[in-house]
């Protein structure tokens, strides 16, 4: 039952705390309770809109932001929320109009709002518009490490690697504890093959700073190769544990790879039906077995060389990995996932030859023979 002793501001504050904790259902309940008492409270309508956005309920979110703008047509947070929601519906011009209206109303000095809009535009790959709002933020606070770092991310997305590295270095000069910028910079150096610089930056992060597995994988690989560490070295334990936390549940990429493999298996089964299909499959299998016995020479990105059949090479790579206790299939599945995160290329993990050849096509290793 609504409590008449709470003001609309107190309802908004409590809901905001629940939202920040990721408890969107409880935040919605709190906001609805507040709206039952204060139906014209703009902030409560805005809060409901953002809670709906967090739950991917875009139609309802849009309605909430529009209701807030009916009550206050120039409410900056309502305009920002509406713009973000419109982008979900592909209404880019209307969204940009809402964002531009915030500038027209004179909210350039609200740096957090400028960064919020820039993040939304960045996620939607609208780099020019994201940079526009970042530059507004930097005009107000030139040493804002968050704005500087985001500008570096924009430059990298545009393919301006040198500019991105210089900008991210500037962000770290403004705030040496900006872990996201440091991880991003470490990955950029890794991509350029400057492993010493990559290790320098990645080693200056903590496991809890990482919300993506890529930087941790690279840090572990670089530490092992640079310091000649064994797989079970005590200094790697905390990083392996963080990897386990991040890998705890399958994500969208895992689901996609599993679905692709399942569909490929179903297709192979259908093609095997009938005598002609069966005969062709037997010939293909024989040819595959012959290829499996051929010796090859493969060089990984870290310079390690592997010799043998494709199956033997994959097994050697698994043994050299940070988690050698995994099965070969588990190793290929994890590396396929990591390769997709790095290159955007889908790498099959059903057999050793396909895995290695696709990894080579993605630029993750080289097949010399």
pLDDT tens readout for residues 114-150: 999 999 999 999 999 999 999 999 999 999 999 999 9
Conformation bin of residue 159: beta by default, left when phi > 0, alpha when psi is -120 to 50: left
pLDDT of residue 261: 56
Across residues 70-81, what is the average pLDDT? 96
Q: What is the CATH number of domain 1-105?
A: 1.25.40.10
Is the Cβ–Cβ distance between 44 and 38 less than 8 Å?
A: yes
pLDDT digits (tens, 9 = 90+) for 163-200: 999 999 999 999 999 999 999 999 999 988 899 999 99
SS (H, E, C) 239-305: HHHHHHHHCCCCCHHHHHHHHHHHHHHHHHHHHCCCHHHHHHHHHHHHHHHHHHCCCEEEEECCCCE
pLDDT of residue 266: 57
Nearest to 298 by CA among 222, 218, 356: 356
- Judged by average pLDDT, the poorest of 128-137, 148-157, 204-213, 359-368 is 359-368
- Judged by average pLDDT, the poorest of 137-141, 217-221, 274-278 is 274-278
Domain boundaries, the chain: 1-105, 252-367
* pLDDT over 90 percentage in the chain: 56
Coil vs helix vs strand at 128: helix
CB under 8 A, 24+ apart: contacts of 170-174: 171/145, 171/146, 172/145, 174/143, 174/144, 174/145, 174/148
Across residues 266-295, what is the average pLDDT? 55
pLDDT of residue 264: 54
Mean pLDDT of the chain: 86
pLDDT of residue 283: 47
b/e sequence 144-174, b meaning 16+ C-beta within 10 Å: bbbbbbbbbbbbbeeeeeeebbebbebbbeb
pLDDT of residue 292: 52
Q: Is the pLDDT higher at 211 or at 337?
A: 211
As a dihedral over the C-alpha atoms of residue 112, residue 19, residue 120, residue 48, rounded to 10 degrees, the angle is -110
pLDDT of residue 11: 92
């Amino acid at each position: 039952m609504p409590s008449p002793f709470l003001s609309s501001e107190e309802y908004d504050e409590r809901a905001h705390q629940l939202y920040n904790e990721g408890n969107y259902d409880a935040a919605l309940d709190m906001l609805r309770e507040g709206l039952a008492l204060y139906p014209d409270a703009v902030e409560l309508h805005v809060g409901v809109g953002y809670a709906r956005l967090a739950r991917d309920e875009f139609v309802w979110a849009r309605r909430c932001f529009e209701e807030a703008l009916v009550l206050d047509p120039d409410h900056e947070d309502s305009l920002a929320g509406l713009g973000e929601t419109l982008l979900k519906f592909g209404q880019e011009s209307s969204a940009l109009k809402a964002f531009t209206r915030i500038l027209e109303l004179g909210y350039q000095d609200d740096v957090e709002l400028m960064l919020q809009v820039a993040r939304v535009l960045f996620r939607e790959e609208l780099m020019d518009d994201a940079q526009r709002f970042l530059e507004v933020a930097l005009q107000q606070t030139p040493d804002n490490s968050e704005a500087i770092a985001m500008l570096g991310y924009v430059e990298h997305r545009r393919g301006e690697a040198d500019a991105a590295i210089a900008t991210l270095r500037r962000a770290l000069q403004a705030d040496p504890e900006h872990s996201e910028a440091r991880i991003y910079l470490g990955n950029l150096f890794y991509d350029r093959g400057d492993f010493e610089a990559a290790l320098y930056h990645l080693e200056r992060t903590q496991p809890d700073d990482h919300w993506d597995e890529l930087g941790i994988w690279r840090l572990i690989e670089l530490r092992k190769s640079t310091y000649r560490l064994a797989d079970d070295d005590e200094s790697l334990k905390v990083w392996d544990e963080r990897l386990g936390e991040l890998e705890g549940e399958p994500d969208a990429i895992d689901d996609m790879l599993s679905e692709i493999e399942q569909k490929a298996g179903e297709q192979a089964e259908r093609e095997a039906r009938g005598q002609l299909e069966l005969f062709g499959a037997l010939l293909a299998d024989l040819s595959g077995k012959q290829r499996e016995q051929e010796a090859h020479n493969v060089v990984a990105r870290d310079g390690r060389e592997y010799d043998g059949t494709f199956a033997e090479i994959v097994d050697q790579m698994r043994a050299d990995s940070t988690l050698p206790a995994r099965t070969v299939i588990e190793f290929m599945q994890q590396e396929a996932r990591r390769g997709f995160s790095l290159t955007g290329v889908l790498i099959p993990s059903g057999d050793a030859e396909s895995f290695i050849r696709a990894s080579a096509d993605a630029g993750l290793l080289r097949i010399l023979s």
